[in-house]
Protein backbone atom coordinates (compact mmCIF):
# COMPACT_ATOMS: atom_id res chain seq x y z
CA UNK A 1 0.00 0.00 0.00
CA UNK A 2 1.40 3.35 -0.98
CA UNK A 3 -1.27 5.31 0.80
CA UNK A 4 -2.17 7.83 -1.82
CA UNK A 5 -5.61 9.30 -1.34
CA UNK A 6 -8.27 8.87 -3.97
CA UNK A 7 -11.98 8.92 -4.50
CA UNK A 8 -14.32 6.29 -5.86
CA UNK A 9 -18.00 5.58 -5.54
CA UNK A 10 -18.77 3.75 -2.30
CA UNK A 11 -20.49 0.92 -4.12
CA UNK A 12 -17.35 0.13 -6.15
CA UNK A 13 -15.12 0.22 -3.07
CA UNK A 14 -17.44 -2.06 -1.14
CA UNK A 15 -17.88 -4.71 -3.82
CA UNK A 16 -14.21 -4.81 -4.77
CA UNK A 17 -13.01 -5.17 -1.17
CA UNK A 18 -15.64 -7.77 -0.31
CA UNK A 19 -14.25 -10.10 -2.96
CA UNK A 20 -10.61 -9.40 -2.16
CA UNK A 21 -8.15 -11.12 0.17
CA UNK A 22 -6.81 -7.74 1.36
CA UNK A 23 -4.03 -7.52 -1.15
CA UNK A 24 -3.26 -3.93 -0.14
CA UNK A 25 -2.54 -5.04 3.44
CA UNK A 26 0.10 -7.55 2.42
CA UNK A 27 2.93 -5.22 1.44
CA UNK A 28 4.07 -1.66 1.85
CA UNK A 29 6.01 0.59 -0.49
CA UNK A 30 8.06 3.63 0.42
CA UNK A 31 9.32 6.26 -1.94
CA UNK A 32 13.11 6.56 -1.82
CA UNK A 33 15.58 9.11 -3.14
CA UNK A 34 16.22 8.78 -6.85
CA UNK A 35 19.62 7.08 -7.21
CA UNK A 36 22.08 9.08 -9.30
CA UNK A 37 25.56 7.86 -8.46
CA UNK A 38 27.14 4.43 -8.23
CA UNK A 39 27.25 4.87 -4.45
CA UNK A 40 23.48 5.46 -4.41
CA UNK A 41 22.97 2.21 -6.31
CA UNK A 42 25.19 0.39 -3.82
CA UNK A 43 22.64 1.17 -1.13
CA UNK A 44 19.86 -0.21 -3.33
CA UNK A 45 21.90 -3.38 -3.92
CA UNK A 46 21.86 -3.88 -0.17
CA UNK A 47 18.10 -3.31 0.12
CA UNK A 48 17.33 -5.72 -2.65
CA UNK A 49 19.57 -8.43 -1.23
CA UNK A 50 16.86 -9.00 1.37
CA UNK A 51 14.09 -11.49 0.73
CA UNK A 52 10.63 -10.06 -0.04
CA UNK A 53 12.10 -6.70 -1.08
CA UNK A 54 11.78 -5.35 -4.61
CA UNK A 55 12.35 -1.94 -6.15
CA UNK A 56 10.17 -0.28 -8.73
CA UNK A 57 10.02 2.98 -10.63
CA UNK A 58 6.69 4.65 -11.29
CA UNK A 59 6.35 8.05 -12.94
CA UNK A 60 10.12 8.41 -12.55
CA UNK A 61 9.91 8.00 -8.77
CA UNK A 62 11.71 5.14 -7.04
CA UNK A 63 10.02 2.91 -4.47
CA UNK A 64 11.13 0.21 -2.08
CA UNK A 65 8.50 -2.52 -1.88
CA UNK A 66 8.35 -4.88 1.09
CA UNK A 67 6.09 -7.89 0.57
CA UNK A 68 5.31 -8.49 4.21
CA UNK A 69 1.73 -8.65 5.42
CA UNK A 70 0.26 -6.53 8.17
CA UNK A 71 -0.01 -8.25 11.54
CA UNK A 72 -3.63 -7.06 11.91
CA UNK A 73 -5.30 -8.91 9.01
CA UNK A 74 -7.84 -11.40 10.28
CA UNK A 75 -8.33 -14.87 8.83
CA UNK A 76 -11.28 -13.61 6.80
CA UNK A 77 -9.11 -10.80 5.35
CA UNK A 78 -10.46 -7.99 7.47
CA UNK A 79 -8.75 -5.39 9.64
CA UNK A 80 -8.76 -6.28 13.34
CA UNK A 81 -7.96 -2.69 14.36
CA UNK A 82 -10.33 -1.04 11.89
CA UNK A 83 -11.34 1.83 14.20
CA UNK A 84 -7.71 2.58 15.03
CA UNK A 85 -6.07 1.75 11.72
CA UNK A 86 -3.22 4.04 10.59
CA UNK A 87 -3.96 7.10 8.48
CA UNK A 88 -2.33 5.54 5.40
CA UNK A 89 -4.95 2.77 5.55
CA UNK A 90 -7.76 5.27 6.01
CA UNK A 91 -6.69 7.22 2.97
CA UNK A 92 -6.30 4.20 0.72
CA UNK A 93 -9.18 3.56 -1.66
CA UNK A 94 -10.04 1.45 -4.67
CA UNK A 95 -9.03 4.45 -6.78
CA UNK A 96 -5.36 3.55 -6.25
CA UNK A 97 -6.04 -0.07 -5.52
CA UNK A 98 -3.77 -2.82 -6.83
CA UNK A 99 -6.79 -4.79 -8.01
CA UNK A 100 -7.36 -2.13 -10.62
CA UNK A 101 -3.84 -2.87 -11.59
CA UNK A 102 -3.78 -1.32 -15.05
CA UNK A 103 -3.11 2.08 -13.59
CA UNK A 104 0.22 0.91 -12.10
CA UNK A 105 2.58 1.42 -14.94
CA UNK A 106 5.93 0.54 -13.47
CA UNK A 107 8.70 1.73 -15.73
CA UNK A 108 11.15 -0.61 -14.03
CA UNK A 109 10.90 -3.46 -11.53
CA UNK A 110 13.96 -5.05 -9.87
CA UNK A 111 13.69 -8.31 -7.97
CA UNK A 112 17.36 -9.17 -7.67
CA UNK A 113 20.82 -7.64 -7.42
CA UNK A 114 21.58 -9.09 -10.87
CA UNK A 115 18.69 -7.22 -12.48
CA UNK A 116 19.72 -3.98 -10.83
CA UNK A 117 23.38 -4.45 -11.81
CA UNK A 118 22.37 -4.87 -15.44
CA UNK A 119 20.39 -1.63 -15.31
CA UNK A 120 23.27 0.24 -13.64
CA UNK A 121 25.77 -1.08 -16.14
CA UNK A 122 23.65 0.09 -19.09
CA UNK A 123 22.92 3.46 -17.53
CA UNK A 124 26.56 4.31 -16.80
CA UNK A 125 27.70 2.98 -20.15
CA UNK A 126 25.22 5.34 -21.85
CA UNK A 127 26.42 8.26 -19.72
CA UNK A 128 30.03 7.54 -20.65
CA UNK A 129 29.15 7.47 -24.34
CA UNK A 130 27.27 10.77 -24.08
CA UNK A 131 30.28 12.40 -22.42
CA UNK A 132 32.56 11.23 -25.21
CA UNK A 133 30.38 12.54 -28.04
S1 LIG B 1 -8.57 -1.63 -1.63
FE2 LIG B 1 -8.22 -3.08 -3.28
S3 LIG B 1 -6.56 -4.45 -2.60
FE4 LIG B 1 -7.41 -3.39 -0.82
S5 LIG B 1 -8.97 -4.76 0.03
FE6 LIG B 1 -10.01 -3.31 -1.34
S7 LIG B 1 -10.03 -4.34 -3.31
FE8 LIG B 1 -8.52 -5.40 -2.07
S1 LIG C 1 -3.93 -1.89 9.85
FE2 LIG C 1 -5.73 -2.85 8.97
S3 LIG C 1 -6.16 -1.74 7.08
FE4 LIG C 1 -4.08 -1.25 7.73
S5 LIG C 1 -2.75 -2.66 6.62
FE6 LIG C 1 -3.23 -3.59 8.60
S7 LIG C 1 -5.02 -4.85 8.27
FE8 LIG C 1 -4.84 -3.46 6.54
**Reduced DSSP (H G I as helix, E B as strand, rest coil) percent helix, strand, coil of the chain, to 5:** 45, 20, 35
Among protein residues, the one whose CA lies closest to atom 6 of ligand 1: 17
- What CA dihedral angle connects 98, 103, 52 and 123, to 10 degrees? 180
The number of the ligand nearest the C-alpha atom of 21 reads: 1
Q: Which helix (H) or strand (E) holds 55?
A: strand 53-58
pTM recorded for the entire structure: 0.81
Over the chain (133 residues), the average pLDDT of each successive run of 10 is 40 71 93 96 97 95 96 96 96 79 77 97 85 75
Instruction: Please name which of 114, 96, 113 lies closest in space to residue 105, comparing C-alpha atoms.
Output: 96
Ligand 1 touching residue 20 (CB < 6 A): yes
Domains of the chain by residue range: 10-132
110 beta partners: 55
Amino acid sequence: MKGRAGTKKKKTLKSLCEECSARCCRYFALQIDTPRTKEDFEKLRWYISHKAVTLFVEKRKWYLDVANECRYITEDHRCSIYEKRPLVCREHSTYDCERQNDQFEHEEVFSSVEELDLFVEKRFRRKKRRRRS
